[in-house]
Amino acid sequence: MECEGILMGMGNPLLDISAVVDQQFLDKYDIKLNNAILAEEKHLPMYEEMASKYNVEYIAGGATQNSIRVAQWMLQIPGTTSYIGCIGKDKFGDEMKKNSKLAGVNVQYYEDESAPTGTCSVCVVGGERSLIANLSAANCYKSDHLKRPENWALVEKAKYFYIAGFFLTVSPDSILLIAEHAAANNKIFMTNLSAPFICEFFKDAQDEVLPYMDFVFGNETEARTFSKVHGWETENVEEIALKISQWPKASGAHKRITVITQGADPVVVAEDGKVKLFPVILLPKEKLVDTNGAGDAFVGGFLSQLVQEKPIEECVRAGCYAANVIIQRSGCTYPEKPDFK
């Protein structure tokens, strides 16, 4: 495969501030497990409180960046992937640049002068995670940066694009620029439902980019929320996956495939009017560290095989492998080399 820069991601680069907390902390800040939200005024003191009360780890994060890094790790060929997003000119931003370069990802960050690098508080209770993102600089991304010749060159070079739904809150015009390029040039464009709040409050922006999507990822909660806001009156994940796959497309070059994960339950794949179920690798409860990054890692593993034109079964198997590795570690981190056969 012609591999340099074959896979490109764009999203919100965030520094994860991760800690095992207690139920009292969740209640105090009105946080639900297995959810992802944007920080409001009431959440702002929690970052300090976490750092002072709990054992905190700082890990480079952000959904799309996680997926791209995992794909890069699975592929083991430096520079196979590229990533664009906005960071601040600060210590956290420098840390992020260093981390990503070490991971082998070709990052082209837009550096905002005024806002600090975005952070995401990861609250872990009993292995389950809840995410509260304070986007800061990540929210300042402008499509002018994407249009710069040196950055648009990454778009021209890539054959596969992945942008999680979270970026809809930041720069929908950047997403559409890439979507239109992908459709016009017969390339593969992919997204993620990302979080219930994206499906609920950014429905119009999501509906506008959906016709361009060749793959749609998500989990069972997001799929059910998507169904509810579109008035489909079904909670059946297989039915919902099928309906998303049959949503009209901007270009007829590729069919749409929907891939929905369900935690320990089988992965649902809908294509060509049919649904297939793929079992995941079950993990004994005592080996679970935290679920932070599990969905992102699944996508990263999946993409690592997709860009090699492997069949869907292999893509799902690699996704399950990567997710299984990540949930046995803190945050979206991985050992030096994968042992995926």
Q: Which residues pair with 262 in a beta bridge?
A: 265
Angle between the N-to-C axes of helices 294-306 and 63-75, in degrees from 0 to 180, rounded to the nearest 10? 50
Tell me how far apart the terminal alpha carbons of the chain are, to the nearest angstrom.
18
Tokens linked to 270: 């809908």
Tell me which residues are annotated as active site.
Answer: 296
Q: How far apart are CA 205 and CA 279, in angstroms?
A: 33
Question: Checking DSSP bridges between strand 215-219 and strand 257-262, what pairing results, if any?
Answer: parallel
Tell me, what amino acid is at 339? D
Instruction: Name the residue type at position 173.
Output: D
Sole residue written with tokens 């959440």: 43
Angle between the N-to-C axes of helices 149-157 and 172-184, in degrees from 0 to 180, rounded to the nearest 10? 50
Query: 176 with 209: CB under 8 angstroms?
Result: yes
Please give the angle made by the CA atoms of 13, 19 and 22, to the nearest 5 degrees: 135
Residues 41, 35: Cα–Cα separation, whole Å? 18
Structure tokens at 194: 């990302």
Beta-bridge partner residues of 218: 260
SS3 163: strand
Say which DSSP state 328 is in: T
Report the SS3 class of residue 28.
helix
Residue 311 structure tokens: 């069949």
Q: Which of 197, 195, 191 is nearest to 179 (CA)?
A: 191
